[in-house]
């Protein structure tokens, strides 16, 4: 099982901080899982121009190919201007139609205000559904007050992160089995 | 239709096309040499001709895992090796070529083949060739429209005066040699959407519609939109041939055909497009209402006749060699096509 952690912004520290906890939790609980972490702040990703993702070079090519090779993606995103950041939307634009088919995607959201709670529900999930991802319905929503000096100080958040990791792993495993069983039935 | 060498009184034409892919065989993991692949393509055209297949075409694709970048050269070898089968590109990427040279090459192939050559002009679904051949991807649309337009003009006029953005002007230029009958069929390659079919209709040029998978009813919309656009722009749709192009694979039973072809399509698509072909969609492809012509001879006959009834098209061409299918299997396919499929199709689509 290949899991990619994706921190979807090129600025700020909260999403990155929370994603560090996610990656730690997954490697501790599931040491056999092959994990890769991509923080978009570390990469120089160009804007999508509609070409096939295999044809991008450099960082853009690396990021797109790594995501396309994943069985599961845990996406971390901040909320900017009541939406996901352009950097994360650009990642979706780099990928093909139906690009998340047969992949499990789970979400972690950081925000400065509780008013942003439904943004993942109303803006991120529709994109994932359109791209045919298997979505882990429950996401982790973390507010400003849960962080202090690049650490999470609310134990409840840590528990929720552990549950997100567990849900992602179990759904991926289950979904793989469902697909195997279904494909075996076709007989070709 | 005569202008496009299509006889309305004859049955629907049946052809084969190859993109000239040079992929490993996922079943045994081996990959033949480019030399062998090219020779097998030429031999495939000969076998197709012997089986009574009407048409054979070769595409150009400038990326890893392909061997017929110089597709016009391969076609000229096929022209020499065959006698009556129609031959064409599928497609020629006119956007990144000089239309004058394209015409010179294909008119020559038409003379070598004694009047059997055609051009299908496309714009590439991949963009690597823009860098390779020195074009700007931002001109993607403009390059295609201007060069396709010039190609049509060269076909219509032996002496040409022309000015454009992407090529030096032509002043009283004679593009020679001329094809056997002075002009040759030039088709516009179209992806699945009605939008791009409409453009072909407006231009009043024959349309080649690619359809790999999905319901016949969806592609019928593109064909209807094409004819409607042609009519609105003063062209007679009854004089404009339509061809479809899609997967083709035949074996004794449908399940055997699926079992034999699926790994090639799935692994081949992964390598060339970055995504496999979902098994669920492939399984649905066996439904008569789906365009995918993969199955037993009986199923394929039923599918082709259904498509013919819905589209009223003049030609179907099938891709059966994608993803490193071993040559022996291709030969078996051709045999089944010649003995079981063609006679039925010809019988039921004859006027």
Using the predicted structure, report yes or no on whether residue A183 has a pLDDT greater than 80.
yes
CA dist., res. B9 & res. B115, Å (int) = 20
CA dist., res. A51 & res. B125, Å (int) = 8
Return the domain boundaries, chain A. Answer: 2-186
Would you state the structure tokens that stand for residue B13, as one six-digit string? 């034409």
DSSP B250: E
Q: What is each CA distance from B165 to A10, B98, B146, B217, B236, in whole angstroms?
A: 40, 12, 8, 39, 31
**Choosing among B279, B281, B284, B287, which should be mutated to test the A contact, i.e. which has the most A CBs within 10 A?**
B279
Kindly report, residue by residue over A111-140, the tens digit of the pLDDT. 999 999 999 999 999 999 999 999 999 999
CA dist., res. A128 & res. B137, Å (int) = 29
Enumerate residue ranges in chain B where pLDDT < 50.
none
Using the predicted structure, report yes or no on whether residue A70 has a pLDDT greater than 80.
yes
Length of chain B: 351
Instruction: Provide CB contacts within 8 A for B259, sequence distance 6+.
Output: A187, A188
Q: Sort strands B242-250 and B86-89 into parallel, antiparallel or unpaired.
A: unpaired
Would you state the structure tokens that stand for residue B82, as one six-digit string? 């065959």
Model pLDDT, residue B311: 98
Cis check: omega of the bond before A40, within 30 degrees of 0: no
CA B247, B253, B255, B257 torsion: positive or negative?
negative
Task: Estimate the share of chain A in helix, then strand, then coil, as percent rounded to the nearest 5.
Answer: 50, 20, 30
Q: Sort strands B92-93 and B207-210 into parallel, antiparallel or unpaired.
A: unpaired
In A, minimum Cα distance to B260 occurs at: A188
Model pLDDT, residue A153: 97
What superfamily would CATH give domain A2-186?
Flavodoxin domain (3.40.50.360)
CA dist., res. A53 & res. A115, Å (int) = 35
Using the predicted structure, report yes or no on whether residue A104 has a pLDDT greater than 80.
yes
Nearest to B110 by CA among B13, B181, B46, B55: B181
Query: Across the strands, what pairs with B189?
Result: B208
Burial B73-89 (b: 16+ CB within 10 A, else e): ebbbbbbeebeebbbbb
Model pLDDT, residue B292: 97
Model pLDDT, residue A147: 97
Model pLDDT, residue B126: 84
Model pLDDT, residue B337: 98
Q: Which residues of A touch B287 (CB under 8 A)?
A: none
CA dist., res. B146 & res. B135, Å (int) = 14
For chain B, list residues whose CB is within 8 angstroms of any CB belonging to chain A. Answer: 125-128, 137, 255, 258-259, 262, 273-275, 278-280, 282-283
* Contact call for A52 and B137, based on CB within 8 A: no
Does domain B2-349 fall into CATH 3.20.20.30?
Answer: yes
Could you give the percent of chain A with pLDDT greater than 90?
A: 99
Using the predicted structure, report yes or no on whether residue A22 has a pLDDT greater than 80.
yes
Phi, psi of B241 (to 5 degrees): -75, 150
* Contact call for A96 and B274, based on CB within 8 A: yes
Cβ burial, residue A90 (10 Å; 0-12/13-18/19+): middle
Model pLDDT, residue B128: 87
Interface ipTM:
0.85
Would you state the structure tokens that stand for residue B30, as one six-digit string? 């081996």
Q: Which residues of A touch B280 (CB under 8 A)?
A: 182
């Amino acid at each position: 099982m290949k899991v990619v952690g994706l921190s979807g912004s090129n600025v700020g520290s909260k999403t990155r901080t929370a994603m560090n906890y996610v990656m730690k939790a997954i490697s501790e609980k599931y040491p056999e899982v092959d994990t890769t972490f991509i923080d978009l702040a570390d990469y120089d990703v160009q804007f999508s121009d509609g070409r096939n993702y295999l044809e991008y070079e450099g960082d853009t090519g690396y990021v797109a190919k790594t995501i396309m090779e994943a069985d599961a993606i845990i996406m971390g995103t901040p909320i900017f201007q009541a939406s996901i950041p352009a950097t994360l939307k650009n990642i979706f634009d780099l990928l093909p139609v139906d690009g998340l088919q047969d992949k499990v995607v789970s979400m972690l959201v950081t925000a400065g205000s509780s008013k942003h709670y439904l943004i993942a529900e109303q803006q991120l999930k529709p994109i994932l559904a359109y791209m045919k991802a298997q979505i882990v319905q429950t996401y982790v929503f973390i507010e400003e007050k849960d962080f202090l000096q690049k650490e999470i100080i609310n134990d409840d958040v840590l528990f929720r992160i552990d549950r997100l990791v567990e849900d992602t792993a179990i759904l991926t495993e289950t979904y793989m089995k469902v697909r195997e069983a279904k494909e075996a039935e076709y007989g070709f | 239709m005569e202008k496009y060498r299509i006889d309305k009184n004859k049955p629907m034409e049946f052809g084969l096309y190859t993109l000239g892919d040079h992929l490993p065989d996922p079943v045994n993991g081996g990959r033949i040499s480019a030399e062998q692949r090219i020779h097998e393509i030429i031999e495939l055209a000969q076998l197709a001709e012997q089986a009574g297949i009407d048409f054979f075409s070769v595409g150009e694709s400038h990326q890893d895992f392909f061997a017929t970048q110089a597709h016009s050269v391969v076609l000229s070898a096929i022209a020499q090796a065959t006698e009556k089968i129609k031959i064409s590109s599928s497609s020629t990427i006119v956007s990144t070529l000089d239309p004058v040279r394209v015409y010179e090459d294909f008119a020559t192939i038409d003379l070598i083949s004694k009047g059997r050559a055609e051009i299908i002009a496309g714009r590439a679904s991949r963009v690597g060739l823009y860098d390779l051949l020195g074009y700007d991807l931002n001109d993607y649309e403009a390059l295609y429209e201007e060069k396709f337009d010039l190609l049509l003009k060269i076909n219509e006029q032996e002496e040409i005066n022309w000015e454009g953005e992407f090529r030096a002007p032509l002043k009283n230029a004679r593009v020679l040699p001329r094809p056997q009958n002075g002009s040759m069929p030039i088709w516009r390659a179209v992806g699945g959407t009605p939008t791009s079919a409409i453009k072909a209709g407006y231009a009043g040029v024959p349309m080649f519609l690619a359809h790999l998978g999905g319901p016949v009813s969806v592609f019928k919309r593109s064909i209807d939109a094409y004819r409607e656009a042609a009519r609105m722009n003063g062209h007679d749709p009854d004089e404009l041939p339509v061809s479809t192009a899609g997967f083709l694979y035949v074996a004794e039973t449908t399940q055997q055909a699926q079992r034999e072809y699926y790994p090639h399509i799935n692994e081949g698509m992964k390598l060339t497009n970055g995504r496999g072909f979902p098994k669920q969609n492939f399984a649905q492809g066996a439904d008569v209402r789906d365009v995918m012509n993969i199955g037993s001879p009986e199923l394929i006959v039923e599918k082709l006749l259904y498509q013919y009834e819905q589209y009223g098209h003049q030609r179907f061409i099938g891709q059966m060699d994608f993803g490193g299918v071993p040559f022996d299997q291709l030969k078996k396919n051709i045999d089944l096509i010649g003995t079981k499929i063609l006679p039925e199709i010809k019988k039921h689509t004859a006027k």
